[in-house]
Structure 1
Amino acid sequence: MSLRVKAEPVLRPLMQAWWRVRRPMTMGVRALVENDAGHVLLVRHTYVDGWFFPGGGIERGETAEDALVKELAEEAGIAPTAPPDLFGIYSNERVFRGDHVLLYRVRHWQVCGGEKAGEIAETGWFDPYHPPEGITGGTQRRLREVFSGEARTSAW
């Protein structure tokens, strides 16, 4: 496992180049998960810096909601207990040409157990008005849109 973690930063640009050829447009999901205290769930990956909403890519033959459920289980050990609300669809061109992100708001969930994916270094619950140091720009903008009423943008 440690070899995989160390190799991912090196392989990431090569994988992205391959994806650009094979899949000129990509789509992913992210989940803004809230707990009863009003905090939001964020994850830190082993292969890239920053705090993010849990999520990942939508695979061929998979619906967006199926991908969201899969990623929440793998990255956070939780499962929605009600349909998530689609908050917005964003272009992620600055990070990866042709990429789009669907952001879902998950307010009803339960712990589903299981071991978290090895790519997750840490998870945490945070006050959306006072996010942790190192939060990514897109994640911070979405928190302001949801909780502070900031105008939505179309770019992640």
Structure 2
Amino acid sequence: MAISDPEQAFRQTGWAGLRARLFHLYFLLRRPMTLGVRGLIHHRASNSVLLIHHTYVPGWQLPGGGVEVGETLGEALVRELAEEGNIALTAAPVLRSMHFNRRSSRRDHVAFYVIEAFSQTAPKLPDHEIAEAGFFPLDRLPEGTTPATLRRINEVFGGEQPSPYW
């Protein structure tokens, strides 16, 4: 039986929808989760990886950052690689693993991608966010490479099992 009275329809279905929205808002405010992406850009010919050094945190790390509202993981990855490394993907990246980043917060997770199909028209120049960026051979990573970056590199190239933690 169809309901033709909008007020009656709201009484029957609207309260559940409103309640669901309120619960969603409560959980968003009470337990917000953050999500980030990182990419390991591997240049096969030189067996090197792209690392960046931010202006606001110490150490060399893989490029990446937060997923914005309304953005997919893939869109965030493409944006971050362009911003931080002047990198454009030429094929789909491979989602390697997901990690809980407990050092950032109790609700932060990072999607980790491996990228071997890419282009870089020019090296990334320093700006307000990136102090330095460059490709480093796997056997000559810069001093100050972060522990999380070293773990991801060892998982990809050293055959180690991916850690659930960033």
User: For this structure pair, what is the TM-score category when the shorter chain's length is used for normalisation?
Assistant: 0.7 to 0.9
Conserved? CA contact 1:74–1:115, under 8 Å: no
Matched, 1:140 2:150: yes
* TM-score (norm. length: structure 2): 0.76
Find the counterpart in structure 2 of residue 14 from structure 1: none
Q: Which is higher, the Rg of structure 1 or of structure 2?
A: 2
Q: Give unmatched runs, 5+ long, in structure 2.
A: 1-27
Letter in 2 for 1:100: H
Conserved? CA contact 2:100–2:109, under 8 Å: yes
Structure 2 distance, partners of 1:21, 1:30, is 26
Describe the shift of the 1:144–1:122 C-alpha distance in structure 2 as closer, same or farther (beyond 3 A): same
Aligned residue-pair number: 137
Letter in 2 for 1:150: E
- What is the CA RMSD across the aligned residues, in angstroms? 2.0
Describe the shift of the 1:129–1:152 C-alpha distance in structure 2 as closer, same or farther (beyond 3 A): farther
Q: Percent identity of the aligned residues?
A: 48
Q: Give unmatched runs, 5+ long, in structure 1.
A: 1-19
Matched, 1:88 2:97: yes
Find the counterpart in structure 1 of residue 119 from structure 2: 110
Letter in 2 for 1:86: L
Structure 2 distance, partners of 1:42, 1:93, is 22
Letter in 2 for 1:94: R
Structure 1 distance, partners of 2:65, 2:163, is 21
* TM-score (norm. length: structure 1): 0.81
Structure 2 distance, partners of 1:106, 1:124, is 15
Measure how far apart 1:131 and its partner are.
2.0
Describe the shift of the 1:45–1:23 C-alpha distance in structure 2 as closer, same or farther (beyond 3 A): farther
Moved beyond 6 Å, runs of 4+ = none
